[in-house]
Copies of this chain bind each other. A is one copy, B any other.
């Protein structure tokens, strides 16, 4: 018997599989559930146990992590009828790592508290590469005592871990990160398009600007991809629209108007409406070009 906490894991998409794999590699006993069992094959072969539903994951675990799709999925696998909360023993911890609604995170924490449990919201940034290399940044909301219990697990998945405050604070911090992304997407896509239309050498220009006052991480990653017309997803348009929708929902609740985020959400919905929701967020440049009857076609 291991003296390590028994870990439950719900959701084994690209991110979740890699993250759960780090816990398994660190020696934690792991019980997993996913809507699509086939996605769990590698984890099961490496020693994880299968559970038939989230509640069964709860029964077998001291701490349950989840990383699923949308807030309704989070709700279902945590506080839903067969959610993991229903199975947890007294003093258990739910730690949802999905980018989801701060209001829902608070509701989960309240439900958990009523039953003598704890809930953390702990969304991440760093994408599939960060998940694979255990280099995620993790924003955590919830009670400090629960945070400290979950911390060794979070440290197995991430490089920078920030306790941001009470329940919901992790989600707020992640949404603020997405607000910052919205602006840099304008920055990268509009400036490259302007440079192309002005007839200058876009690749040389990007190279110089990327390290200056107008530079950004996105200019040096997505900007480079755009030079090769590479629209493969580092981050899906569909997911970004979900996140921007959550940002705007919270803005409305807080009575805050953010014109840049409003505009970004509108343009990304246009990208999605054109059937490109499964492309990477950098594809914004193509829709911006087409807004003016232009074509994005710069070469490296």
A153 to chain B: closest CB distance in Å? 19
Q: Which residue of B lies closest to A179 (CB)?
A: B191
A275-293 CB mask vs B (1 if < 8 Å, else 0) is 0000000000000100111
A218 to B214, CA, bound (A): 7
179-218 of chain A: CB within 8 A of chain B: 179-188, 190-195, 197-201, 204-205, 208-209, 211-218
- Given contacts A214-B177, A219-B180, whether A165 and B251 have CB atoms under 8 Å apart is no
Q: Contacts of A186 on B, CB cut-off 8 Å?
A: 182-183, 186-187, 260
Which of A183, A199, A267, A294 has its CB near the most chain B CB atoms (within 10 A)? Answer: A183
A235 to chain B: closest CB distance in Å? 8
Q: Contacts of A213 on B, CB cut-off 8 Å?
A: 125-127, 177, 181, 217-218, 221
A247 to B190, CA, bound (A): 11
**Cβ–Cβ contact A173 & B205, under 8 A:** yes
A199 to B171, CA, bound (A): 12
A214 to B179, CA, bound (A): 9
A256 to B288, CA, bound (A): 9
| A184 touches which of B127, B199, B216, B288 (Cβ 8 Å) | B216
Copies of this protein, total: 2
Q: For the complex, is A118 an interface residue (Cβ under 8 Å from B)?
A: no
**Cβ–Cβ contact A257 & B291, under 8 A:** yes
**Cβ–Cβ contact A214 & B125, under 8 A:** yes
**Cβ–Cβ contact B125 & A212, under 8 A:** yes
Q: Which residue of B lies closest to A205 (CB)?
A: B173
Q: For the complex, is A83 an interface residue (Cβ under 8 Å from B)?
A: no
Q: Which residue of B lies closest to A217 (CB)?
A: B215
Q: For the complex, is A162 an interface residue (Cβ under 8 Å from B)?
A: yes
Q: For the complex, is A258 an interface residue (Cβ under 8 Å from B)?
A: yes
A200 to B167, CA, bound (A): 11
Q: Contacts of A175 on B, CB cut-off 8 Å?
A: 194, 198
A137 to chain B: closest CB distance in Å? 5
Q: Which residue of B lies closest to A254 (CB)?
A: B197
Q: For the complex, is A160 an interface residue (Cβ under 8 Å from B)?
A: yes
Q: Contacts of A293 on B, CB cut-off 8 Å?
A: 255
**Cβ–Cβ contact A177 & B258, under 8 A:** no
A223 to chain B: closest CB distance in Å? 9
Could you name 10 residue pairs across A and B whose Cβ atoms are closer than 8 Å?
Answer: A164-B201, A172-B200, A176-B198, A178-B214, A180-B187, A180-B190, A180-B191, A182-B187, A215-B217, A216-B218
Additional pairs, 8, CB under 8 Å, beyond known A125-B214, A165-B199: A126-B213, A173-B198, A177-B213, A179-B190, A183-B188, A216-B218, A256-B292, A260-B263
User: What are the 6 tightest A-B residue pairs by CB atom distance, in nearest-first order?
Assistant: A183-B187, A186-B260, A172-B198, A183-B186, A180-B191, A216-B216
